[in-house]
């Protein structure tokens, strides 16, 4: 009997030995060195790598996605160390407030896999000392001007109420807004952005960045917060996993409508267009607007007028149906036909008729134009209307600001290149 017991013990030891060998892999360092928004360098160090055959880095950034979003990268070992750099200059960078997660898969010579505990890091633009205010489903971060944060939070709440009451569209998850003291500062947090950009909505991340000088926070910041928030909410409502998209006139028209009472500039653009019968073909507004600020502004105003016509003439339910039909992958003409009974050209004709304008002669075979992400433009004439102090105005931080640290569709405003101040954050392995 003792003989059989000894054999059984030896067999148990034999079969469990690979598991014990696998468990012997010890990680002595697991870090990410962050140089936002340029790069992230992942570093792994093992106590003993003599039996390690392969190492893979698995990382992802939290965002809404129709597919598995993580990326697995084979990383060669150099002795007992592995290092790999995510060069965001090649791919574009996630916005501040986005959370990066990563782990390592370590495979030994027998094929056993050890996966390290998941690590995480929230990207922070630490050039500034942030304050935070919040409301249900909204967190707003800012650093310049004591009243700016509360004022713009109130605007965001009002914007959500209008989207729900007038368009029947609601926010389904929390959004973060980062309010920069200057558009230059905001653009310094995004690698690839139009040189006239003043705001950008990262709909997949539920994050909005806007440059709002305190001196125009009420006149320009309030409607811009509502504009960018509309992009994000409509993006959530009309999210597509089959390649569907919205024409730019619809995207920007909805966002401009959500600003509330139209600005004097929007009203003047529309009045001039009616007086001179000089509106762009609506079909030409399916795609990207002009890169020139003034022309882009007129395109926003015309888009606002078209969306206002659809809402006031056919109601919010039809507009919701149009957004959802487009999300299913229908073309712009087909979606309009399905919901309203006319295509893009037919929409233009009934819209022009509502403005008492003559019908426009339309070519019989129009060329399809795809929508593109459009930035929110910076306020026109700002240098003339509000003098800017040289140099210091772009970087000054209000001395009354208290310190703190917060946790694209794209809309932009006018830009000057800003030198990025790189920073390294060393994330220590969780204990």
**Residue 183: per-residue pLDDT:** 93
The contacts of residue 229 (CB under 8 Å, 6+ apart) are: 156, 159, 160, 163, 175, 177, 201, 208, 258
Name the token pair of 352: 């022009």
Task: Report the chain's mean pLDDT, rounded to a whole number.
Answer: 83
pTM of the model: 0.74
Q: Which of 23-37, 187-201, 247-261, 262-276 has the lowest mean pLDDT?
A: 187-201
Q: Ramachandran region of residue 188, left (φ > 0), alpha (ψ -120 to 50) or beta?
A: alpha
**Residue 8: per-residue pLDDT:** 47
CA angle, 375 as apex, 369 and 379 as ends, to 5°? 130
User: In terms of C-beta density within 10 A (0-12 exposed, 13-18 middle, 19 or more buried), how is residue 99 classed?
Assistant: middle
pLDDT digits 0-9 by tens, 106-147: 999 999 999 999 999 999 999 999 999 999 999 999 999 999
**Residue 375: per-residue pLDDT:** 57
Domains parsed from the chain with CATH numbers: 25-123 (2.60.40.2140), 131-385 (1.10.390)
Evaluate if residue 296 carries a pLDDT over 50: yes
Rounded Cα gap, residues 125 and 141, in angstroms: 11
The contacts of residue 10 (CB under 8 Å, 6+ apart) are: none
pLDDT digits 0-9 by tens, 161-174: 999 999 999 888 99
pLDDT digits 0-9 by tens, 378-403: 553 333 222 222 222 222 223 333 33
Evaluate if residue 16 carries a pLDDT over 50: no
CA distances from 262 to 219, 246, 328 (A): 12, 22, 31
Reported as a pLDDT band with limits 50, 70 and 90, residue 418 is very low
**Residue 198: per-residue pLDDT:** 84
Residue 204 vs residue 14, higher pLDDT: 204
């Amino acid at each position: 009997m003792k003989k059989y017991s000894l054999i059984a013990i030896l067999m148990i030891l034999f079969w469990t030995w690979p598991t014990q060998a696998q468990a012997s892999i010890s990680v002595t360092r697991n870090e990410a060195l962050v140089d936002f928004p340029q790069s992230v360098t992942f570093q792994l160090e093992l106590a003993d790598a003599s039996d390690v055959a392969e190492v893979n880095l698995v990382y992802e950034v939290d965002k809404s996605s129709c597919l598995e979003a993580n990326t697995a990268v084979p990383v060669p070992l150099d002795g007992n160390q592995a290092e790999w750099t995510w060069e965001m200059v090649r791919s574009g960078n996630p916005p501040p407030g986005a959370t990066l997660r990563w782990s390592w898969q370590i495979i030994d010579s027998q094929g056993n896999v050890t996966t390290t505990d998941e690590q995480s890091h929230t990207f922070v633009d630490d050039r500034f000392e942030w304050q935070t205010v919040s409301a249900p489903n909204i967190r707003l971060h800012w650093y310049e001007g004591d009243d700016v944060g509360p004022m713009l939070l109130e605007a965001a709440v009002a914007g959500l109420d209008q989207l729900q009451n007038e368009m029947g569209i609601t926010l389904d998850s929390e959004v973060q807004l980062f309010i920069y003291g200057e558009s230059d500062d905001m653009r310094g947090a995004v690698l690839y952005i139009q040189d006239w950009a003043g705001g950008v909505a990262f709909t997949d991340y539920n994050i909005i960045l806007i440059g709002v000088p305190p001196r125009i926070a009420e006149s320009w910041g309030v409607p811009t917060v509502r504009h960018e928030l509309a992009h994000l909410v409509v993006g959530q409502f009309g999210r597509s996993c089959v390649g569907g998209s919205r024409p730019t006139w619809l995207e920007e028209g909805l966002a401009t409508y959500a600003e509330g009472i139209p600005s004097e500039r929007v009203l003047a653009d529309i009045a001039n267009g009616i007086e001179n019968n000089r509106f762009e073909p609506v079909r030409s507004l399916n795609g990207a607007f002009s890169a020139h600020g003034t022309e882009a502004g007129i395109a926003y105003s015309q888009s606002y007028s078209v969306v206002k016509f659809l809402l006031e003439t056919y109601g919010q339910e039809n507009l919701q149906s149009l957004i959802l039909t487009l999300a299913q992958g229908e073309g712009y003409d087909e979606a309009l036909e399905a919901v309203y009974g006319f295509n893009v050209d037919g929409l233009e004709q009934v819209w022009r008729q509502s403005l008492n304008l003559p019908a426009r002669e339309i070519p019989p075979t129009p060329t399809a134009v795809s929508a593109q992400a459009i930035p929110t433009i910076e306020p026109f004439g700002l240098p003339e209307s509000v003098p800017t102090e040289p140099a210091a105005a772009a970087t000054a931080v209000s001395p009354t600001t208290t310190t703190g640290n917060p946790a694209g569709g794209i809309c932009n405003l006018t830009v000057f290149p800003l030198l990025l101040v790189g920073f390294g954050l060393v994330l220590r392995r969780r204990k």
